[in-house]
Amino acid sequence: MTAWYKLTVCDYSMCQEYLEGHAMIRSSHLAAPLLVAAIIIAGAAAAPNDDTVADSCNAIRSSVNFDFCVARLRDVPGASSTDRRGHLLMAADLAATAGSTARYAAIVLLRGESDPAARDGLEACDYLYVAASLPALQFMRGYAEAGSWAAAKSLLMLTAQGGIGCEAALAGAPPVATKMTGVNGEFDKLNALATALLYAVS
């Protein structure tokens, strides 16, 4: 009697352990897919917005170097989350800054230059940036921000004058032209970036 009782208790305990363990296994099998789904949903919710810089630069890569476009726009805070019009406004600001830098470089070189041809060329550079490119970029940006696309495009002939005009003015003074190559080139590329984005947006 005692032996039978002990055997019965033992069998019952083993059955209980088996059933409880089996239930835990089934629960874990059900919980695993739910946990994975929860992680995926949470990750998607926490993921940042798509980077729009690459998209904008890809849209104009036939006229502007893709890597240059991405590098310059990524330097601007907020570029990765704004739209293409925002990138256009940023590019216009970058071009204006580059134009101011080029103009300042021409003024500095002019102060120490004695060659008449070089001085004439540098004075022309100063004038073309301050009287044409810089104000034209400012107005173009304003029109673009307001969505006045025709008015913005009408200024593009003026925005480019600083770079190409300065290079032409210094054609007779190669040593000085070489010194201005870097700043003029940076302005030309940024102005081209703003121009391409203007056409892409409008």
In the chain, pLDDT over 90 holds for what percent of residues? 75
49-103 per-position pLDDT tens digit: 578 999 999 999 999 999 999 999 999 999 999 999 999 999 999 999 999 999 9
Q: What are phi and psi of 50, to 5 degrees?
A: -60, 145
Q: Where are the domains of the chain?
A: 1-47, 52-201
For the cut 70, the answer to whether the pLDDT of residue 40 exceeds it is: no
CA 137 to chain centre: 19
Tokens for 135? Answer: 């104000």
CATH placement of domain 52-201? 1.20.140.40
For the cut 90, the answer to whether the pLDDT of residue 28 exceeds it is: no
If one compares 44 and 70, the residue with the highest pLDDT of the two is 70
The 3 state secondary structure assigned to 15-28 is: HHHHHHHHHHHHHH
How far is Cα 179 from Cα 177, in angstroms, rounded to an integer? 5
How far is Cα 155 from Cα 195, in angstroms, rounded to an integer? 10
How far is Cα 39 from Cα 98, in angstroms, rounded to an integer? 46
Residue 28, CA atoms < 13 Å, CB-side half-sphere:
6
Q: Tokens 């890809």 identify what position?
A: 58
Average pLDDT over residues 99-128: 97
What is this structure's pTM? 0.76
